[in-house]
Amino acid sequence: MHAAWTVKHKPHSLSEVIGNSNAIQKLSKWVKSWEKGVPKKRAAFLYGPPGVGKTVSVETMANDSGMELVERNASDYRTADAVERFAGLASQYGTLDGRRRLILLDEMDGITGTADRGGVRAAIEVVKEARCPVVLAANDAYDRKFSTLRKYCLLIEFSKPTVLQIASHLKRICRQEGIEADDNVLKFVAERSGRDVRSAVNDLQALAQGRKRLTHEDVSWLAERDRKEVIFNILRTVFYSGDTWEAKKASDAADVDADMLFEWIYENVPRHFTDPRDLARAMNALSLADIYRGRIRSTQNWSLLKYVFDFMIGGVAVARERSKPGGWVPFKFPGRIMVMGQTKGLRARQSSIGMKIRKRCHISSVRAVKEVIPYLRIIFESNAEMAAGLTSWLDLDEDMLEYLAGGKRQANAIAKRLA
Amino acid sequence: MSFEMWTEKYRPRSLEEIMNQKEIVERLKSFTNARNIPHCIFAGPPGTGKTTAALCLAHDLYGEGWREHLMELNASDERGINVVRETVKTFARTRSIGEIPFKILILDEADNMTSDAQQALRRTMERFTETCRFILICNYSGKIIEPIQSRCAPFRFSYLRREDHDTYLRAIVEKENVELPDTGLNAIFDVCEGDLRKAVNTLQAAASLDREINSETVYSVVGRANPTDVKDMITQAMKGEFIEARKQLRDMIVRSGVAGSDIIKQIHSEIFRSGLPDKWKIRLADAVGEIDFRMVQGANEEVQLSALLARLGEAGLEMKRGS
């Protein structure tokens, strides 16, 4: 029912192709030069990463200049035989109806050694004999198999468009589809695609089709999904491979924040190490990792970070001796981070009271929270008179008073004595 | 009626009023008599009078306007190197007006400074010795870098002796018009172990509950200040219910704000109060002590204590198997 947006919104004219203006200019100049006779280089070799517009540039160029495009890609010319048959077309200057011809040999990387024996050699023959422009396209023109072919070609490099260029392309598509989308959202989609226009458009379709609006919430889970997948992979290896080397490799390969990874492992270890002896070993490894985190904090010597990984990855990996994998146990989001989130308001209150105490009591606000507030709460809950005195002595506001008093009623009773 | 925190209200103002740490006080008095002090490190456990001694020293040295010549910084709140670079330096380099040519900078909880900041501090101390003397206060002088230690006169504070503790608290209750029978006094010393700040806070909270402070009042204060069911947590852990035990631990630390050092102290005494075989008490004491030490080294309290809970779970299993 819905066409793929990559096809539906494909550029029709060269001017709609995004990015690579230099490469495109070079290409069209070369094609134009054929009008004055066969140029020195009979073929152009376009190379660059996938989804940057190599094929579409050739297609729109043919369209713009009214040429007939004859296109073959790797799936068509597997062998020398097939390519030679195709060569006949290239040796003619134009078509019967007088239109000139443009030949595109796409996906040249797809010609592989044994299966397509002779494929590249045959392509060379085609180029040598060509009487119309031949364009070749591949990701890597410097592959060894192209070394001879390269000599006959004008090399044109295509590079990735910028995030902004892709985002504005996506915006155009959104406009045509009647979708409202924030620029930031589109930039995010563009970035996540690795600046591959084709996959950015595919992603956009998956996210936005059938919607009127595309907001940040609609796309943010994408990043979350990627990150979680990465972390789950590490956790699986750390918990079940039993191999320090494997586990460390998995965590090295993924660029995950060490503290975040620690929290995930710390949260999930007890759910996967069911034997108490294994669990004690794993938790001890985490305890040691944590000591090195403390040492890094106090010395700021980040080269100690490798020991954190030794223990939290390697140490945990070898802790499993008796625990049997108990079926599928889902990985749980770090509870400590959740609790910290839930208690953020509470802690902010405590620390603001701590700051007040600090002004009066020659003690840090950090320690005041732990060492003075508990006693203040007892006083405020049970003795309104003493609490009133302390409220003005410490210069507490209503909010702080209510927290220490443990409720509105007692807070009011204390406040009455203040007046 | 006006109320303050008793810890401040009854904090000695002058070295003359300090009743404990006799040797230290004598040496400090000789400084004030000479009207000159070196850089100092005051090290010792909490609640033993380190900050008080520093404040008294400044008071006795400068007289009434002493606060103008003094800056108090707390490394737990401002531990970064920038504080040293900016705040400390600005204060240290300007000359003091008055008879005494230097100011005093008290750096409390200095063992919480990063070693970068300590290095920066070391240079500042050297450059501005003429205009500023430093008093570094810490629990463990071992966490102060060697070059700073060697530039300072060291003072080691120890826990209050029982009679000093008693005299101090008795003086307070007399002025505050509350009664403190021996049972209450014993209970306070039992719980606070000579940490005078904690003792005075406990006393004041107890006084807010009742005019007569007996052991019951004290223990109810302690129970409410540390709402920890350490016993239940240990039981869960030894049964192998680690996740439940860790959840209880997390609630204590994050929601109730109980200090990890208090929790481990209670775990320790709970183990010795329990009916476990003596052999196991000793084995577990080793585990508890090790974790206690790791926490002192500056590791995360919850992570360390939960490693201990896991060890308790392992011990529970081993005991069941009779090893």
Per the structure, the count of domains in chain A is 4
- Write down the mean pLDDT value for chain B: 89
| CATH code of the domain covering residue A52 | 3.40.50.300
Six token digits for residue A75: 């799936």
Cβ of B314 and A378 within 8 Å? no
Last residue of a domain, one of A200, A223, A246: A223
Beta-carbon count within 10 A of B297 CB: 15
Q: Please tell me whether residues A253 and A282 are part of one structural domain.
A: yes
Last residue of a domain, one of A194, A223, A252: A223
CB-neighbour burial class of residue A276 (10 A; exposed 0-12, middle 13-18, buried 19+)? buried
Chain A: closest CA distance from residue B298 (Å): 5
- Read off the pLDDT of each residue in A186-196 and give the average, rounded to a whole number: 85
Confidence of residue A1 (pLDDT cuts 50, 70, 90): very low
Domain residue spans of chain B:
6-156, 162-225, 230-320
Model pLDDT, residue A300: 80
Residue A9, in any domain of the structure: no
pLDDT at B285 over 80: yes
Q: What percent of chain B has pLDDT over 90?
A: 56
**Domain B6-156: CATH superfamily, name plus number:** P-loop containing nucleotide triphosphate hydrolases (3.40.50.300)
B238: closest chain A residue by CA:
A276
Residue among A287, A300, A375 minimizing CB distance to B303? A287
Distance from C-alpha of B245 to C-alpha of B310, rounded to nearest angstrom: 9
A56-96 pLDDT, tens digit each: 999 999 988 888 888 877 556 556 677 666 666 666 665 66
- Read off the pLDDT of each residue in A182-197 and give the average, rounded to a whole number: 85
Distance from C-alpha of B123 to C-alpha of B149, rounded to nearest angstrom: 13
Domain span including residue A276: 225-332
Fold of B162-225: Helicase, Ruva Protein; domain 3 (1.10.8)
pLDDT at B288 over 90: yes
Residues in chain A: 419
Looking at per-residue pLDDT, the higher value among A210 and A390 belongs to A390
Confirm if B166 and B199 have CB atoms less than 8 A apart: no
Does the beta carbon of B224 lie under 8 angstroms from any beta carbon of chain A? yes
Chain A: closest CA distance from residue B117 (Å): 9
Q: Please tell me whether residues A29 and A114 are part of one structural domain.
A: yes
Give the residue from A136, A149, A131 showing the smallest Cα distance to A47.
A136
Q: Rounded to the nearest 10 degrees, how much is the dihedral formed by the CA atoms of A358, A363, A365, A366? A: -170
B291-306 pLDDT, tens digit each: 999 998 888 999 999 9
Distance from C-alpha of A180 to C-alpha of A175, rounded to nearest angstrom: 7
Looking at per-residue pLDDT, the higher value among A260 and A388 belongs to A388
B245-259 pLDDT, tens digit each: 999 999 888 877 788
Fold of B230-320: Zinc Finger, Delta Prime; domain 3 (1.20.272)
- Write down the mean pLDDT value for chain A: 85
* The one-letter amino acid at B197: R
Name the phi and psi angles at B154, rounded to 5: -90, 140
Residues of A in contact with B74 (CB under 8 A): 358, 363-365
Distance from C-alpha of A394 to C-alpha of B43, rounded to nearest angstrom: 28
Model pLDDT, residue B180: 94
pLDDT at B42 over 60: yes
A115 to each of A71, A76, A110, A120, B47, how far by Cα in Å? Answer: 21, 13, 10, 12, 83
Distance from C-alpha of A363 to C-alpha of A373, rounded to nearest angstrom: 12
Confirm if A124 and A136 have CB atoms less than 8 A apart: no
State how far Cα A293 lies from the chain centre.
27
Looking at per-residue pLDDT, the higher value among B208 and B86 belongs to B208
Cβ of B242 and A279 within 8 Å? yes
Q: Please tell me whether residues A298 and A405 are part of one structural domain.
A: no
A238-264 pLDDT, tens digit each: 998 888 888 888 887 776 778 889 999
A296: closest chain B residue by CA:
B114
Tell which phi-psi region holds residue B240, choosing left (phi > 0), alpha (psi between -120 and 50) or beta. left
Cβ of B311 and A370 within 8 Å? no
Confirm if A193 and A199 have CB atoms less than 8 A apart: yes
